[in-house]
Amino acid sequence: MEPSVWKVVIVLSLVVGPISTKAGTGSNESKFVATHEWQEIKEGEAIPQGLHVRINLTTGKKEAKLLDPDDGGADSSSLSMVPGEKLKDHHVQGDSGGDPQTVAGMKLEALREALKDIPANTYEEEADTDNTVRTRFKSYEQIKQELKDANVELKSDSEIMTDLFSRFDQALQKAAGTPERQELDVLFEDLEYLAHQIDNALQFIDRGGVEKIIWPSINRTDDTQMRTKALKLLGTIVQNNPKAKVALIERNGGSNLLSALGRATTTDEISAALYAFGGLVRKFPFAQKQLLTPHGYSVLYGVWEKKVELKVKVKVLQLIADVLVDYGNAVAAGQSDSTTVEQYRSTKLPDGLERTEFCKHAGTFFHQQKAALIPEDNLTDETVKALQACKQLCHETWSQCPLFRHTLLVLRNNLDHRLDDDGELVEYRREIKSSIDGLLVDLYGQPKDEL
């Protein structure tokens, strides 16, 4: 069925008395035998009274059938649209010997002309000019004035940000009481919301927001909550925003951020710092070259020794795994252009990880967190996936470490014993167990049942 072409089938339905398709009533006329199905009335056939007769203008033939009870014996006519060719001109002669056939008193020619006026499913758009646009739509200033008259103030993102900057300075100048604390929290939330848009994030940097808001807040040694919110805001600014990353590096933001991560001691603050640090270095080899140095790795490994929640420590392992995967994808043959390959190679990421004994530190962390990982299916899954991403670099170290293998087997066997504890987690636990089995095979061959 072709949707672009349609034909009109015009069906004339009548209930008539005896007629003949040929003038005169000779004795040689064949007799029409009516049924409840439409049949063509052949030339010269006479039909009895009380039949339902129609003329199909597509074929130009007359058809008849017995009158259905639902028809009610009344004259009727119908028009329908069906897929096919365009309407053809069928010269169907009436019984009178050549007069044009009519439908409900309308001549066919007039009917065809009327059909031309039926609108198609296309609509012509009014050609807009500058005047019509100004007439039909209100300007921003008009809307703003009307809302102002209704005691509703309309502001653009830029105007809102200007207002937030001013309010922030005023809040910092006041004493650190409860009202001011709440005001600062609201300001950080509003700024973070705006910074999710790339243009707003760049505008925040251009207006000196890093120097005026983020660095002063991060350096407030007596206010952990404010430092945490500033780090979250910074992380939002640099997430998937290459220009913001470059601007932050130009403002010595990398070293300041690394120092903030090293000073952080609480779960929330370290989590926010890792969020910002990861947003800056991921897929940005220039920042990796500056920050993933022996000092940078020392700060990252140091998080594993702090008394914070396990989920934060796992984030460190995930961050290193992510940059290592990015490096491998970039330098793989034919995957990137020569400039990108050169930028990633200049970071010397694998060499830096080896010199700082990342594989040894990661293995120790994994073994030390064995008991904490057992009941945490999600963290176990994230940890094993991060270890898999690093297995090529650390194969030699981990394959020769009995404690590493022991930890994998403990986690695997505990998952196996808990498969049926929760019906909704059965498939997820099986996936984690399968990942552990794969890592065991890669490092040690087929795992044994005993510990």
Q: Which residue has the higher pLDDT, 5 or 60?
A: 60
The 10s digit of each residue's pLDDT in 415-451 is 988 887 777 888 999 999 999 999 999 999 865 554 4
The DSSP-derived string for 236-299 is: HHHTT-HHHHHHHHHTTHHHHHHHHHHH--SHHHHHHHHHHHHHHHTT-HHHHHHHSSHHHHHH
pLDDT band at 247 (very low <50, low <70, confident <90, very high): very high
For residue 81, which of 6, 4, 13, 11 has the smallest C-alpha distance? 6
125-129, 257-261, 366-370, 371-375, range with the lowest pLDDT: 125-129
pLDDT band at 337 (very low <50, low <70, confident <90, very high): confident
| Residue tagged 């199905």 (tokens) | 37
pLDDT value for 23? 42
Burial of residue 133 (CB within 10 Å: 0-12, 13-18, 19+) is exposed
CA-to-CA dists, residue 107 to 12, 99, 104, 113, angstroms: 12, 10, 9, 10
Helix (H, G, I), strand (E, B) or coil at 190: helix
Where do the structural domains in the chain lie, given as residue ranges? 138-281
Q: What is the mean pLDDT of residues 247-259?
A: 92
Whether 221 has a pLDDT exceeding 50, the answer reads: yes
pLDDT value for 294? 96
Backbone torsions φ then ψ of 12, nearest 5 degrees? -100, 115
Name the CATH superfamily housing domain 138-281: Leucine-rich Repeat Variant (1.25.10.10)
Q: What is the mean pLDDT of residues 374-398?
A: 96
Number of other residues whose CB lies within 10 A of the CB of residue 138: 12
Q: Is the Cβ–Cβ distance between 155 and 190 less than 8 Å?
A: no
**In angstroms, what is the C-alpha Rg of the chain?**
41
Number of other residues whose CB lies within 10 A of the CB of residue 324: 20
Whether 291 has a pLDDT exceeding 90, the answer reads: yes
pLDDT band at 260 (very low <50, low <70, confident <90, very high): very high
Percent of the residues in the chain that have a pLDDT greater than 90, as a whole number: 49
pLDDT band at 38 (very low <50, low <70, confident <90, very high): confident
Backbone torsions φ then ψ of 412, nearest 5 degrees? -65, -45
The 10s digit of each residue's pLDDT in 130-167 is 555 555 565 656 655 655 555 555 567 788 888 888 88
Helices (H), 24-139: 108-116, 130-136
Strand ranges, E, within 179-234: none
